[in-house]
Amino acid sequence: MLSCKRRLMSKNGEVAMLLARELISYNIGDRIRTVGDYAENFSTGRGTVQSAIKLLEDEGAIGLESRGHLGTFILSIDYKKLWSISDFGVIMGVMPLPYSKRYEGLATGLYKAFEKADIPFSLAFMRGAGKRIQALDMGKYDFAIMSKLAATHEKNKFEFIDIMHIFEEGSYVGEHIILFRDNHVNKIEDGMRIGIDTASPDQFLLTKYECEGKDVKYIETSYNQIVEKLKNKEIDAAVWNEDEIKEKGLKFNTQRLKNPKSLEINKNDTMAVMVINNNNLELKNIIKKFIDMEYIENIQKKVLECQIIPMY
């Protein structure tokens, strides 16, 4: 083991790490690129590439067979060893705070999917899709979970965003509704104080559409403070997630969204998406190869149906 670590610290080891990161998305029977291709791609000599390939073979990470002019093909592959040599470490994801069973189900599905793939994984929780995008851009996380609506909105502002996968309807939220402080009100009216969270593209856009053409006063309100501000009579209404109303048994005057634009985009708002940095091609290949998105959705459904206990 010590000998392996020393070899990985050498120039050959650096190239072996880069090779491992590429080859981890390959299958038995695939043809690898030529030594010359790798040398050009990694800006190094052919001898260094050949030594790096030998290191991978010596460690049992891959087994290769040369077939003359046809090229070199993979005979055997040990993904666990390739992962170790690649130095990917722990894959880090970030998603909304798990305040609903739907989010708990999604978090549980992610953990179980990565565990099934035998890939080290950790999940962080952060309020606001905009903040999650910023953290992704800074390289703090490998992927972020948000609604399709938020991802599409942010993609117009940040070119690096790549929507890796779109989960099915109802995977993010059940539905958004309007909460009213006054039980005798059923629509947003002029003069109302409306809670709005600029850190949440979903809540922000839906709120703007619902208030379109109304003379209202927007009150900057963190999403998790909306209920308290309604109770304290600091705001008169706000767009919120119906899941929380049902799960927490909150007693509020709730009304459906009414603006045609809100109703049109509400479908996209219910879908969860996995977003990555489009420069992270290696991660994209790994997720495509090893992570079963349908499995994640099935786990989420089982959590929602109380068939399994959330684990995250």
Other beta carbons within 10 angstroms of residue 23's beta carbon come to: 23
Q: Which two tokens stand for residue 220?
A: 């900057």
**Which CATH number does the domain 176-269 belong to among 3.40.50.1000, 3.10.180.10, 3.40.190.10, 3.40.50.140?**
3.40.190.10
Which pLDDT score, from 0 to 100, does residue 185 have? 92
Digit-coded pLDDT (tens) for 64-107: 999 999 999 999 999 999 998 998 889 999 999 998 899 999 99
Which pLDDT score, from 0 to 100, does residue 10 have? 58
User: What's the CATH number for 2-86?
Assistant: 1.10.10.10
DSSP conformational letter for 45 = -
Looking at the chain, which residues constitute the CATH 3.40.190.10 domain(s)? 91-172+271-304, 176-269
What's the mean per-residue pLDDT of the chain? Answer: 91
DSSP conformational letter for 224 = G
Which pLDDT score, from 0 to 100, does residue 1 have? 46
State the sign of the Cα–Cα–Cα–Cα dihedral 276, 278, 283, 285: positive
Looking at the chain, which residues constitute the CATH 1.10.10.10 domain(s)? 2-86
CB 108 within 8 A of CB 308: yes
Low-confidence ranges of the chain (pLDDT < 50): 1-2, 5
Name which of 275, 241, 272 is nearest 109 in CA terms: 272
Q: What is the homologous superfamily of the domain 91-172+271-304 according to CATH? A: Periplasmic binding protein-like II (3.40.190.10)
